Amino acid sequence: MPATAALRQRPRTFVIAAAAVPLALAILADDVRVRRHLEAARRDPLTGLADRPALMYRITRLAATHREQLHVLVADADGLKTVNDDLGHAAGDMLIAAVGRRLGTWAAARGGLAARLGGDEFAAVVLLPPTTTVREVTALRDQLARPVTCGTEILSPAVSIGTARAADLPDAADASRILRGADMAMYRVKTRREQCGYVATRHDAYTPSVHGRRPGRPGTHLPVG
């Protein structure tokens, strides 16, 4: 090809590439907007917390990279039914929203994620030095239990928290097993079998489920071993 012809074609190639840049940026911006829209749609509308799939995804990622510091907590706000029955569901929603916001702030400050599992039950995944587990969980319980003002009423939530440390469980324990351990630990604290700060054992994480639910939940009719 003659040199003059090649020189004539170069600007055309540049123009095409330059024209493609705004289009690529527009596509990228649309992709970001779509992802943000999906993330917002998957958040709990009452508390703004993440959902269970997002929590499980974060646990899985951190278990692969920071297993020694990975902590999963399950928190249950006791007495919600009494609040709903005595003061109405609006008061119950206000209580749930307050506990959710506090847990979300606590988890975010530790580079973690909080989620609402449903009803009055929450979970969080965070990275903590193992030596601080009991101190951190006890302080969190006190923080979540701070009074909540609802009109002329003062609500005092009682919160039970169970914890599972990935490092205390077999390497084969996946996200669902770690969460199961935290759930069982929470139930032991709630039923006063254990003190606040109790950390799940292998037995807790591998407790057999009944119809997909841990023993002790309504509908299972089985005691906790």
pLDDT of residue 6: 46
Return the pLDDT at 10.
52
Burial class of 201 by CB neighbour count within 10 A (0 to 12, 13 to 18, 19+): middle
**Segment 120-138, tens digit of pLDDT:** 999 999 999 999 999 999 9
Whether the pLDDT of residue 17 is over 80: the answer is no
Residue 198 in domain: yes
Q: ∠ CA 150-157-73 to the nearest 5 degrees? A: 130
SS3 at position 215: coil
| Residues spanned by the domain of 59 | 52-205
Please give the tally of structural domains in the chain: 2
Q: Identify the active-site residue in 44, 85, 86, 120.
A: 120
Whether the per-residue pLDDT at 46 is higher than 60: the answer is yes
- The verdict on 6 and 102 lying in the same domain is no
Residue 21 or 191, more confident: 191
User: Residue 47 falls within a domain, yes or no?
Assistant: no
The per-residue pLDDT for 145 is: 92
CATH number at residue 90: 3.30.70.270
> How confident is the model over 159-171, as pLDDT tens digits?
999 999 999 999 9
**Residue 105 scores a pLDDT above 90:** yes
Active site residue 120: yes
Q: 2 and 33 in one domain?
A: yes
Confidence (pLDDT) at 212 = 55
